Amino acid sequence: MIRVVSPISLLWGMVAVFPTPLGKCPAKLVAHFRFFSPLRMMASSVIIVERAQVAMIKVGIVGGTGYTGVELLRLLVNHSAVQVVVITSRSEAGRPVADLFPNLRGHLDLAFTEPDPALLASCDLVFFATPNGIAMQQVPELLEAGVRVIDLAADFRISDQALWEKWYGMQHACPERLAEAVYGLPEVNREAVKQARLVANPGCYPTAVGLGFLPLVEQGLIELDHLVADTKSGVSGAGRGASVAALMGETGESFKAYAIPGHRHQPEIRQTLMRASGGDVGLTFVPHLVPMIRGIEATLYARLKDVSVDLQALFEKRYADEPFVDVMPAGSHPETRSVRGVNHCRIAVHRPLDGDVVVISTVIDNLVKGAAGQAVQNMNLMFGLAEDAGLEQVALLP
């Protein structure tokens, strides 16, 4: 910690601060003390540096080679309370992380390792940035070892085992942990996240859609039988694995809908909205792929029960104390570039032609608020840190 003190305060406290020779003082250091004359001290302040003993959070990352994993690393290497001690990758074991991701050169001096249960068990917290189905194989052992876990995949997001298995096409390896997992949307479950051992980090689309609909659903202001979520995502949402569909020649100068018959994020979105409403929710959810690298825009439609409600005031009140939700001025149209690289969700609410349909537009960075940034936000809550610690970045423009 650094304190700036006035010269007079320093003079009065000199005997107390320096009872022993300066070179032997264990708690405080004074910069350039021997060069300060009384006149110089009257003209300027003196900086006293205090050594602060802070316990670092030992963090492990399982699956560090995907876009979510490297985004998590980008945020954690500048987090003052975190020490990343292990990053696993079977395919890149032994390779320095900064060789694969040059943006981390000078910030991280670790190599990828094979998954080592003993090393992971020595961590305070383990992030899983893996494909679906991996975390559920390892989480029980880590929890038994006293390690907290944040899963950025979908293994623990849906509390209904049968529903999860239907949408993800595999048997759940530890269904007994589904009830324990806390859904990590801080704007809804902040207090539960603080006490959690296992956090299911929300998906990107569910974050953008959920934050947009929640103020209306919580207050019972819209008809719930037919909500519409029309969403668009950059290609990084498809992951870093090689795929013909993700090639620039396939995605550039093109725009398409996909998964119209049903997307895995639909039951997750419905779960959030049903918990908020206390009843069933009808949702049409259609995602689109757009030719950009990162970002999600969600345009949401619902029918109002009462057109006299001040929608702008409603949204501003709901998110007034939320550090990462920005309700924009009336008439705004949020842009994905305004959240590039940051953990923010920007929201605008409209009632076209003063009718009974409400239209909400939300934007997030799918890799940050939609993944790694929200995971760091959850970590901060779990360990009693400032919620925005390590997440103070400003979006990149242009």
What residue segments make up the domains of the chain, in order of their start?
2-50, 57-180, 204-366
First-to-last CA distance in the chain? Answer: 35
Average pLDDT of span 213-236: 97
pLDDT of residue 54: 63
Whether the per-residue pLDDT at 266 is higher than 50: the answer is: yes
CB neighbour list of residue 176: distance below 8 Å, 6 or more residues apart? none
| pLDDT of res. 36 | 38
Q: Which of 190-194, 244-248, 255-259, 276-280 has the lowest mean pLDDT?
A: 244-248
- List active site positions: 204
CA 290 to chain centre: 22
The CATH number of the structural domain formed by 204-366 is: 3.30.360.10
**Average pLDDT estimate for 76-94:** 96
Q: Does pLDDT of 23 surpass 90?
A: no
Q: What does the H/E/C string look like for 296-354?
A: EEEEEEEEECCCCCCHHHHHHHHCCCCCCEEECCCCCCCCHHHHCCCCCEEEEEECHHH
Task: Identify the sign of the CA torsion 66, 72, 77, 82.
Answer: negative
pLDDT at 376 over 80: yes
pLDDT of residue 27: 35
The single residue listed with the structure tokens 């899963």 is 151
- pTM of the model as a whole: 0.86
Which is more confident, 237 or 211?
211
Q: Is the pLDDT of residue 1 over 90?
A: no
The position carrying tokens 């057109």 is: 307
Distance of CA 211 to the CA centre of its chain: 14
Residues whose CB is less than 8 angstroms from the CB of residue 124 and which lie 6 or more positions away in sequence, other chains included: 57, 58, 59, 147, 148, 383
Of the CA atoms within 13 Å of residue 284, those in its CB half-sphere come to 10
DSSP character for 65? S
Over residues 287-335, the pLDDT tens digits come to: 999 999 999 999 999 999 999 999 999 999 999 999 999 999 999 999 9
Tens of pLDDT along 357-375? 999 999 999 999 999 999 9
Q: How far apart are CA 74 and CA 95, in angstroms?
A: 18
Q: How confident is the model at residue 252 (pLDDT cuts 50, 70, 90)?
A: confident
Tokens of 266: 């639909």
DSSP string of 17-57, one letter each residue: H-SS-GGG-SSEEETTGGG--HHHHHHS-EEEEE----PPE
Q: Top-level CATH class of 57-180?
A: alpha beta
Distance CA(23)–CA(312), nearest Å, equals 61
Averaged pLDDT, 198-204:
99
Helices (H), the chain: 7-12, 14-17, 38-43, 67-76, 97-100, 117-121, 135-144, 161-168, 186-195, 204-218, 248-251, 265-277, 311-318, 373-382
Q: Which pLDDT value is given to residue 249? A: 80
Greatest mean pLDDT among 52-66, 177-191, 232-246 lies in: 177-191
